Amino acid sequence: MTETIATARSFLFVPGDRPERFAKAAASGADVVVLDLEDAVAPADKPAAREHVRAWLDRGNQAAVRVNAHGTPWYDDDLAVVGGGAVAVMVPKAGDPATLETLARSLRGGTGIVPLIETAAGVVGATAVCAATGVIRPAFGSVDLAAQLGVDHRSFDALAAARSALVLAAAATGRAAPIDGVTTTLTDDTALQSDIGRAAALGFTAKLCIHPRQVSAVNTGFSPTAEDIAWARAVVEGAEDGSVTVHNGQMVDRPVLLRAHAILARARREDGARQG
């Protein structure tokens, strides 16, 4: 399950109080379904949402769960539901490594943690957050962070520094590359494609989705292209002895070779997932 979370490209949110959508989300093609007990559920509906999530997991279905933030009245009850069945727990407003360490000790083996970093304090402390026990990879809460900073969440430039901080923190701690935040428009495919492309260019390898129609574009956008795979194969084949070489006029040394191997590994994983 840890590998599933670490290599997933698309994470599709589904409100926990809408159980009729759970199966549809599972059939959407999303790599991971995230049953949401937090923002998508009104306070009065949280107990019922919790039971819907419990029932879905108890039937053997796989999903991550976004719980309510530590310190809210719902946090402990949420953990009681997800601790035994979720493939991962997504923790909003993540900023305190000690909270994540405590959470990791309460989860069954194999249940990972995805800290949702969506505050200025979380971004500044992202390396410590990522280093906490049980963390598989961070996710970026662009909308909440933008609100705190007083900027437009649709502005990629305004949040580029924060995004890069997460990429660096994940790499520095040996975690999988981060998951980018949501694209809130559901009708502007150009905006979605732009967000995917710019996030991938910064080093993100996945994205949070809020509607099934976003899933296909996200999966495609965070998968190696045919050109990427052809380049990687040529680089690997041309550097079989590990020495520095040249490919299409560009020097190929060990870092370039490592990138080529990583591209081919991603392609193999995705082929295996499709065949499975």
The pLDDT value given to residue 272: 57
Helix axis angle, 160-172 to 189-202, nearest 10°: 40
**Encoding tokens for residue 74?**
């719902």
Q: What is the pTM of this model?
A: 0.88
Give CA–CA dist 168/161, Å, rounded: 11
Domain ranges of the chain: 2-221, 226-275
The pLDDT value given to residue 258: 72
Give CA–CA dist 245/238, Å, rounded: 7
The pLDDT value given to residue 255: 74
Q: What is the mean pLDDT of each run of 10 residues along the chain (276 residues)?
A: 89 98 97 96 97 94 96 95 87 97 90 97 98 97 97 95 98 97 95 96 96 96 80 74 67 71 73 54
CATH class of segment(s) 2-221: alpha beta
The pLDDT value given to residue 64: 97
The pLDDT value given to residue 172: 98
The pLDDT value given to residue 264: 79
